[in-house]
Each structure stands twice: as C-alpha cells, then as structure tokens.
Amino acid sequence: MNPPSVVVFDLGKVLVDFDYSIAAGKMTSRCKVIQAQGEDLEDFLSRSPLLCQYETGLLTTEQFYRKVCAATGFSGSLDEFGGPFSDIFVPIEPMIELQSTLRRQGVPRFIFSNTNELAVSHIRRSFPFFNTFDGYVFSYEHGAMKPDARLYEVVERRTGKRGSEILYLDDRPENIATGTARGWQVILHETPEKSRAAIQQFGLLAAH
C-alpha cells in the first residue's frame, strides 16, 4: 500500500491538551447559582448538553454564553466569559514538532476537531503552529460532531482525498472507528512517541 497523501490531526489531546478546571478556577466566584447549589463548575462546563449544542453549531457564541449565564449565575460580560472559558489549552510540544516536520517534508496536514468558535479563536491567536495547516474541519461549522460520518465526508471533500490516501490521528477509539469504516488509515493517539513511530511505519517520516 502506498503511503498516505495527507495527514489529518485531531486537535484536543493530540496537538493541544485542555483542562476545564482552569476555567472553573477563574469563573466559579462569579457563578452565584453554581455556588448556591454546591455544584462543580468544571463538571458543568465539560459535561453540559449546552457544550454539545455549541460545538454542533446549534447555538451561537452569544446564545451559548446567555444559556450558561442563566444556568450558572455567571455575572460577567461575554468577553469576561469567553476569555477564561477558552484559555484552557496547552500545546503538546512533541506533536507540534511532529506536524512541523511533516510540513517541512511537504506533507499536507489538516485539523479535524469537535470544537467551538471561542476555542478556535483563542488557539488561533495564541499558538502560531495552528495557522500553518492546509485546512480545517470544525464540528460547529458543519452541524455534526465526530464520530458522525457526515463530518468525515467534509474532510474528504476538503482534502480531496479518500480511503487509504488519508492518515488520521485521534485519541478517541470511536472517532478512529468511523475513519476505519471509510477505509482511512488510522492511528489511535496514545503518546507522541507511539504516534511518531506509527507515522514512520506509514513511510511519512525518516527514522532517526
């Protein structure tokens, strides 16, 4: 089998790590309802159906913000909400270098992520590597979330590739499974070292 023609990266837990406890630590004191009810803001932010609706494009940023305010009692403006909510990411440096090596070798690279407008805006401003990719497929822009096959069809249209021409890295087995079902070559991302070794086996990186 020929080496893949394009490498498609998941974003969260692959290229950047994230932790909603960071946002909760900055925002809890301004969330009167959450405090009064003794609930955990981190759990609310990461597990609320509102986040799924936002990342599927069913809610705009303004609508998401207003619904979160109503549910938590958050008293700040949209800017005061959006900053802490999105500033939860840390780059995974070995993976940043890995995609940079692929770029230098002329391999097209795409980002394929379940995410939202606030997160993407923050990452684009904060992490220069993010702006070097050949294309992006974000759930909130297409009304579907991985592992929904409709979003994978968008990747195929955006890349112009199908089946084994695509190499896809993701940390979630259910997301990888949909890629496998479409004939993509896949890597279940566990550590940067394992993913680098796997990409080498696909013939896209020189061994060292």
pTM value is 0.95
Burial class, 150, CB count within 10 angstroms (exposed 0-12 / middle 13-18 / buried 19+): exposed
Span 142-151, pLDDT tens digits: 999 999 999 9
Say which residue the tokens 């159906």 belong to: 49
Q: For residue 1, is it within any domain?
A: no
Span 96-120, pLDDT tens digits: 999 999 999 999 999 999 999 999 9
Average pLDDT over residues 5-25: 97
Write out the residue range of the structural domain in which residue 97 sits: 6-17+90-201
Among 86, 103, 119, the domain boundary falls at 86
Q: For residue 12, is it within any domain?
A: yes
Q: What are the phi and psi torsion angles at 74 (to 5°)?
A: -60, 135
The count of domains in the chain is 2
Average pLDDT over residues 189-203: 97
Residues 104 and 157 in one domain: yes
Residues 37 and 79 in one domain: yes
Among 40, 59, 86, the domain boundary falls at 86
Residues 163 and 187 in one domain: yes
